[in-house]
Amino acid sequence: MIQHNRVERLLTLLPWLLNNPESTTSEIALKFGVTENQLLQDLALLTFVGPSQYGGDLVDIQYEAGGFVNVVDTQGLDQPLNLSQSEGLYLAAVLVALGPEIPDYLQSDLAFLIDKLVPSTVSNSNPVKDISDNHNMFLLEDAIRFNRAVRFEYLSITTAIQSSRLVSPKRLRVQSQAIYLDGYCHDTAEGRTYRLDRITAVNQVSDPYMSGPLNMKHRDLITVSGRIKSDYIWMFENMPNLTTVNEGDYSQLNFGVYHIEFAISLALQCIGFLDLNYPENVMTEVSKRADQLLTTLS
């Protein structure tokens, strides 16, 4: 009989099932040292989020109490199933927190799963620099002058991440030798700031998005502090209220975020070269959401 805590059991159960088809639920429960009811709960969870390198998108496990267990479909398993972006984020945060409790021989599986939930898109990559052109500047200045909205593609952090934004431009400004666009984002109904050299494919749009409000609403900033390898300080160059202190190989930094999920996502993407500290009230909220998620998945 194998003794496992649940995290370890979920990481090892599907590979074992693939190698031992036609096992009964009672045999598997005895093998893993759990009751048959606990095993059925584990199998239900596997089909919902998936474990280890197998993901969870198309895991199809045929099973019933007292019957045979077979994994009948393992194709395309590289994304978690039925998890929203924020749910996947908090699940990854929980797994990182549980990391020290997981045996060394499972650490590579754990790292693989975390990367599936929140892919590391910034390590071993270069900053976006000088990709905008004079034509984009002309279109944005024209939109500001005539109070028109534009849709543009925006490169965030690296060229690997790109999203479409519908924005009413309000002003262009220079800060720390970079040009920024302040505007009203129609997708979030809030004020946003964008680096001009990350804006591509600017297109004007017509009604009903002619303009944003004169007084743009901004969320309250959450101040986050941390320590990062100095080679990666460029990732934070357009963060609100950014201050840095260079300490050689590492730099101390403070910056503001409008969504705590964004800061958590950054920390998970940058495991190994970024450590972030969150305000206590934020950590309380993260713990509460993580507990709710684990309760839902149990």
Which of residues 141 and 274 earns the better pLDDT score?
141
Per-residue model confidence (pLDDT) at position 3:
46
* Closest by Cα among 37, 39, 36, 35 to 9: 39
**129 — pLDDT class (breaks 50, 70, 90):** low
Q: What CATH class is the domain 222-297? A: alpha beta
Where are the domains positioned within the chain? 6-117, 134-204, 222-297
What is the architecture, at CATH level 2, of domain 134-204? Answer: Roll (2.30)
- Backbone φ, ψ for residue 234 (5° rounding): -60, -25
- CB-CB contact of 108 with 116 (8 Å): no
Between CA 240 and CA 280 the distance in angstroms is: 20
248-267, pLDDT tens digit by residue? 888 998 887 777 777 777 77
Amino acid 52: pLDDT: 39
Q: How many residues does the chain have?
A: 298
- Say yes or no to pLDDT of 184 above 60: yes
CA distance linking residue 44 with residue 60, whole number of Å: 10
- Return d(Cα 169, Cα 192) in angstroms, integer: 10
Give the separation between CA 296 and CA 286, rounded to whole angstroms.
Answer: 15
The SS3 call for residue 159 is coil
60 against 163, higher pLDDT: 163
- The answer to whether the beta carbons of residues 175 and 195 sit under 8 Å apart is no
- Look at residue 83 and give its three-state secondary structure: coil
Share of the chain above pLDDT 70, in %: 65
Q: Around 27, how many Cα atoms within 13 Å sit in the side-chain half-sphere?
A: 11
Give pLDDT tens digits for 52-98: 344 334 456 777 777 788 776 554 344 444 556 666 777 777 777 77
pLDDT at 127: 56
CATH number for the region 6-117 comes to 1.10.10.10
Q: What is the C-alpha end-to-end distance of the chain, expressed in Å?
A: 23
Range 13-29 average pLDDT: 84
More confident residue, 39 or 282: 39
* Percent of residues in the chain assigned helix, strand, coil, to nearest 5: 40, 25, 35
Give the bridge partners for 194, in sequence order. 181
